[in-house]
Structure 1
Amino acid sequence: MVEGLQPFVHDAVVSVCAPSLVVSHSDGQLDGGADGFYHGDTRALARLTVAVDSSTLAPVSGGLEGADQAGFRAVVRGLGEVTADPVVALHRRRTVSSGRLEETFEISNHGIRHVGFRLTVRASTDLAPIEQVKSGRLLADVPAEAQAEAGALFWSRGGLTVRLLSTPAPDELDAPAGQLSYEIHLAPGQSWSARLSATATHDDGDHFPAAPANRVPWSTPVLRSADRRFDRWLAQSAADLERLRLADPQSPQTGRPDQFLAAGAPWYLTLFGRDAIWAARMLLPLGTDLAAGTLRTLARRQGTVTDPTTEEQPGKILHEVRRGALQIADRLTLPPIYYGTVDATPLWITLLHDAWRWGLDAQEVEQLLPHAESALAWMRDQTQADTNGFLTYVDHTGRGLANQGWKDSDDAIRRRDGHPATAPIALCEVQAYAYEAALGGAALLRAFGRPGADEWETWAERLADRFRDRFWVTDEHGPYPAVALDGDGRPVESVTSGFGHLLGTGLLNAEESALLAARIAEPDLDAGHGLRTLSSNAVGFNPYGYHVGSIWPHDTAIAVHGLVKAGFPDAAASLAAGLLTASTAFDARLPELFAGHGSQQSPYPAPYPASCRPQAWAAASAILVLQAALGLNADVPGGTVSIAPNFASTYAPLTVKGLHVGGGQVNVTVTADGTVDINAPEKLTVITP
């Protein structure tokens, strides 16, 4: 993700049903700034406000009533009152679906007097691309002109048409002012309501991203534990993930369309390779359908040619897809389909391997193996082209992403003294992804009788040897791997949360894993409610820095899972506890990132104002932490499912229903004394400690 001059959206109410969403003030008003009804990367409405003439609306309550619904209540002061108590109330209800926003305004007279008043709704838009809104574009910059047609307002520009219709029709419709007015008279006890429907349609038929199918491609988990924070976090995350679903319009016309998760709302409600892969991987304990849809969606767009303008290369998995070119200020121009990512390709291979292990049908796996072989070949070609034999990146265009790992902001990769690293850059976690992908690819090739397995296992071991020789450095606390190697092959010696991505991949030996497990627990990285992306001891550490001091829930969850796989469940439990504490600060809906202040400074984290919320891999982190707590792993081709509750007893008694392995449901109970009971499909042998 790319940071920028983002407007503040932390306190906003975000209702989402991909590929559409609504951002509003906490009182329900859409009134400039980042507010708006968005569809397909464009702001369809920038303003939708309601007012009662000669009276004051005083907000009473408001907020989400579901991922795609919100409700707001206000009282109308100075109307029909005989005491200090308000008697006229407004209830505003909102529902968003694909390409459609519906708002119902209901006014009730609870007083003893007849009241008469004019209610006015004002609507306007700039039809701005979302990246321009994110960069601080104001409504007044380029307002779109409203027109009236058949009792409705409509706006049209740049291939997008927006229509706003009221039922009942307003008493007055003023198109130039974007104003709908109603003359309302209410006797005591009477109510009046109107429904406004806004529809947004692109002239290309909304070819991408597409609205999701009704069927959710995973099993919905239900957790009941002794820690209600965990239960709430999991339930909220599941609800948010459902509304971030998108479907690939290039899916075959027969059967079900392939689904994947949009990266996050409001800024990234589209396909991002890395984000979609990580989110699908985290959700594998709920079934393999999402992984299959994600894999096929990305495979259809896998690189086939070398194109420096888009960074496409044969075998490479894309970074992001947009409706049009992405322009950020004067420094960044990304084409609609952009391949500027170094890690999506190895992560795609690992997702295919892991999905196979969790039960993806062998025929579906086999159909994707040619894409896996192309992705492996891309890894081989890239390491052969690098002097040091690592996966590296460099922006060849001068207008693309300067950094192309998950920390992709311009200042993300820097030395301990604060100076930026020079490209080409080899990130430490990307080498771990490549190692894991090579071994996973080898396992797939061998299982399906295809050549090359032995060669890829050798390739992986040689990569590990090179990593051990070139990346490890030492400071006053001892040895650790540098965040990267720079263009001269020198270690970029910053201490970062990237340590967590190395654990459990197999790249490290037991001694190295122990060193990183201990280092992660140090307070310069572990803030008490998550891992900082950059050590607080580093020059340039900023708790509000997008990738240089903030905390990302998915980043911490990956470390939790890696610590468990590497054999450090106590350290994993401590990190997981921090995320649970953080979840209470955000009403169980963890954002994309939050500020990296330590828990000693504040028991609850401060928000990063422009963070996506909901966001796919932040929400999916709840599933990954649950998997780590249970020590749940699957080998469906081998006929086993294993469980070793590492720190699940922390939340015991615990029962989770709705996990899905090998085509069947899995339910787990952990009692207060640590006893485990698991129900799994009969074809699987359950392995317990």
Structure 2
Amino acid sequence: MTDGLQPFLSDRVVALSAPTQTWSGADGDMGAAPIDGVYHGDTRFIRGVELRYLDAEGLEVRPEWVRASVPAATEVRFDALLRGVDDRWPDPKVRLERVRRVADGTVSETLTVRSHLDAPLRLALRVAVTPDFSPLQEVKAGAPAPGGWTADTDAPGAVVVRRGAADLTLTAPDGEVTVAADDLRVAWTLEVPARGVAEVAWTVALHDPSLVVRGVADPAPWSVPPAPASADPRLGRWLTQALGDLEALRLALPDHPDDVFYAAGAPWFFTLFGRDSLWAARLMLPVDRSIAASTLRVLARLQGTATTPATAEQPGKIMHELRSDTLSMPGEGIELPPLYYGTVDATPLWVCLLADAARLGMPDGEVEELLPALERALAWIVESAGEDGFLDYVDETGHGLSNQGWKDSGDSIQWRDGRLADGPIALSEVQGYAYEAALGGADLLDRFGRAGGEALRAWAAGLKRRFAERFWVTTPEGRYPAIALDRDGRAVDTLTSNAGHLLGTGILEPAEEQAIAALMVAPPMSSGFGLRTLSTGAAGYWPLSYHGGSVWTHDTAIVARGMALAGRTTEARALVTGLLAAAEAFDYRVPELHAGDAASEVRAPAPYPAACRPQAWSAAAAVTAWQILRG
């Protein structure tokens, strides 16, 4: 039984155009796995779809599915044989192509029957569609609660299903649509010519007025960059898949539809996230700068203006997550308000992205418009450093996120002996982000004639000095920055990938960067398929631990990017080589995370079965790999 457990995703087929997505088996049917269904925003509108046909005896049977292919993020094709209506010879002569296409608010299927028979074929096709209307968060918790719904047949070949303010409209112009007790039925009778083709289609349009995001119809403003002539051929395949996925993950807010950002990932995170959207835009800078500017504007409009403990909002702070309603996570004791600010790193990352984008050609006028938001963000960074001079966090509500860096699971900050650290927590990488943000922000203030640059540089110098004094530890694994300081100011002594995020920020000296880079590519940290989140030398290490031994593609890419900025190109290329091996193993759609088993022990990394895919920052990691390999 899997009730109450997060659904597995690794063997399911997804098609998406945010904020709409479908999950199915390799035959295209939905309902066999807990994740299956048609989703729009934070609701599963349909939980079951079954395609059948009538064989020569008049019995309803399954097609025999032979292939599923994914020509684009928004499209999936399923191929089947219909041997129940075929002739007596062994070669199959009747084929069915099922092509599913997803757009913002619509899902359509085209069913094409191709016959090589010498005589015409009369064929009956049937589709059953089961409405659902379960909240996404309940599906994720393994406890969906389908709601009651009503159906109206408004016109021939169409039906409208409603629950509350949400509705779906199913249309099948050439079919007969009926409403049964638990589902909707579509029936067609096709006349397939001898050695000919017949085609029918059905579509669902999905509507939810509570949505706080909208899709993006315009084509992406980038093209796949050419891989270096000497590059590994896997790089081009990964880039093509990743950039297609990123195009499908674009979203906007309804009041500013031209300002695009990346949804964090499918299936759970089709919305705006501060940290995730910022990092994805930052990793994408080498091929597209426009989404960096629009992401910055979107987040600036939602920048905190008041101190509100219930939402973790503070003046100048960049938000964490936007939802249409309160987000409850059954069984985890977490309940987040619709607009939640519980993140310690989004604010310095916002400043870092603005500084990067400005250096790379973001128009001066667009940068100037964001200077007030920049000043507020910088003030939050300095003021949040507190008495000890470090940025830290603690959940003040008791039902928010207990950890508020990118490793936000409850057990992610632990000592080398496996004990959990007590908060407030000051993460090491956040100090690096803050240092980089202070210097980058100071340069922008100087460039546009604003005051405060020198004070920021002085503050950054103090932070660098304090970091050197307080964060470094020595263990049997070497000397390195601890993952964090705990509530008592003690350095939490595990070796983690967090230390790698410090590379390239400027908070370390060159010799320190060299030492950390060496640790990151050594066997305890590097799996050969990417960088482990936690060293194998830690007592809490487990290759399938969400943040305690697994490999996150974006994490590896950020560290490799920092290595390149620090001049550690050999180490950066070593990490990218591991990412290419992982990309190949996952057919170039790299999931959110995978197991940390060593490449010396397994031929391919095991999936973390509940990992999102595609995920924006995992896809954007392909651009980092391209940038490093091209030199």
TM-score (norm 1): 0.87
Task: State the partner residue of 1:49.
Answer: 50
User: Which residues of 2 match residues 4-153 of structure 1 at below 5 A?
Assistant: 5-32=5-32, 33-53=34-54, 54=59, 55-112=61-118, 115-138=121-144, 141-142=146-147, 144-151=149-156, 152-153=158-159
Q: Once the 2 structures are TM-superposed, how far is the Cα of residue 215 of structure 1 from its aligned partner?
A: 4.4
| Letter in structure 2 aligned against 1:78 | G
Do the aligned partners of 2:267 and 2:612 also contact (CA within 8 Å) in 1? yes
Q: What is the letter of the counterpart of residue 372 of structure 1?
A: L
What letter is aligned with 1:340?
A: G
Distance 1:172 1:213 in 2: 32
Aligned pairs (5 A) from 1:308-457? 308-330=309-331, 331-384=333-386, 387-457=387-457
Partners of 1:531 and 1:556 within 8 A in 2: yes
CA distance in 2, matches of 1:570, 1:176: 60
Contact kept, 8 Å, 2:168 with 2:204, in 1: the verdict is yes
Are the counterparts in 1 of residues 20 and 104 from structure 2 also a CA contact under 8 Å? Answer: yes
Preserved contact between residue 99 and residue 200 of structure 1 (Cα < 8 Å): yes
Distance apart, 1:563 and its partner CA: 1.0
1:463 aligns with 2:463: yes
Give per-residue Cα distances to partners, 1:459-486, cap 9 Å, x unaligned.
Answer: 1111111111111111113211110111
Q: CA deviation at 1:117?
A: 4.8
Q: Mind listing any 5+ residue stretches in structure 1 that lack a counterpart?
A: 631-644, 646-689
- Is the Cα–Cα contact under 8 Å of residues 213 and 257 in structure 1 kept in the other structure? no
Per the alignment, in what secondary structure is the counterpart of residue 46 of structure 1?
strand
Task: Kindly provide the amino acid, as one letter, of the partner of residue 326 in structure 1.
Answer: L
CA distance in 1 between partners of 2:177 and 2:382 (Å): 69
Q: Please give the secondary structure, in 1, of the residue aligned with 2:437.
A: helix
Deviation for aligned residue 1:112: 4.1
3-state DSSP of counterpart to 1:182: strand
Aligned length: 619
CA distance in structure 1 between the aligned counterparts of 2:149 and 2:95, rounded to whole angstroms: 33
Task: Please say if residues 130 and 182 of structure 2, whose CA atoms lie closer than 8 Å, have aligned partners that are also in contact.
Answer: no
Q: 1:421-570, aligned counterparts within 5 Å? A: 421-570=421-570
Query: Bigger shift: 599-608 or 146-155?
Result: 146-155
- In 2, Cα distance between equivalents of 1:555 and 1:154: 44
Whichever residue aligns with residue 323 of structure 2, its letter is: R
Unaligned runs of 5+ in 2: none
2-structure distance, mates of 1:613, 1:295: 24
Q: How far apart in 1 are the matches of 2:478 and 2:281?
A: 36
For the residues of structure 2 that align with 1:419 and 1:158, how far apart are their CA atoms?
A: 47
The answer to whether the 8 Å contact 1:287/1:358 transfers is no
Which residue does 1:222 correspond to in 2? Answer: 226
- Aligned partners of 2:447 and 2:113: how far apart in 1? 66
Amino acid at match of 1:315: G
Distance 1:379 1:171 in 2: 59
Cα distance between partner residues in 1 of 2:164 and 2:412:
35
What residue identity is the alignment partner of 1:212? V
Using the TM superposition, give the Cα deviation of residue 138 of structure 1 relative to its aligned residue in structure 2, in angstroms.
4.5
Question: 1:247-285 deviations in whole A, cap 9, x for unaligned?
Answer: 23232xxxx711111111111111111011111111112
Aligned residue for 2:201, secondary structure, equals: strand
SS of 2:134 mapped into structure 1: coil
Distance 2:25 2:626 in 1: 33
Report the identity percentage: 45
SS in structure 1 at match of 2:593:
coil
Q: What residue is the counterpart of 1:271 in the other structure?
A: 272
Aligned positions of 1:635-654 closer than 5 A: 645=631
CA distance in 1, matches of 2:177, 2:407: 53
CA distance in 1, matches of 2:133, 2:217: 27
Q: Is residue 2:299 matched to residue 1:303? A: no
RMSD: 1.8
Report the TM-score when normalising by structure 2.
0.94
* Local SS of the residue matching 1:317: coil
Offset at residue 590 of structure 1 (A): 1.3
Distance 1:373 1:220 in 2: 36
Distance change >3 Å, CA 446–CA 525, structure 1 → 2 = same
**What do residues 3-27 of structure 1 show as CA deviations (whole Å, max 9, x unaligned)?**
x942111121111111111111111
Give the Cα–Cα distance (whole angstroms) in 2 for the partners of residues 108 and 215 of structure 1. 32
Distance 2:357 2:577 in 1: 28
Q: Deviations over 1:198-246 (max 9, x none)?
A: 0011135x4x211214142445423353321011111111111111111
Give CA-to-partner distance per residue, 1:278-301, whole Å, 9 cap, x none.
Answer: 111111122421111000000000
Q: Is 1:236 the equivalent of 2:241? A: yes
Deviations 1:398-442 (A, max 9, x none): 111111000101111111121211110000101100010011111
Q: Which residue of 1 aligns with 2:163?
A: 157
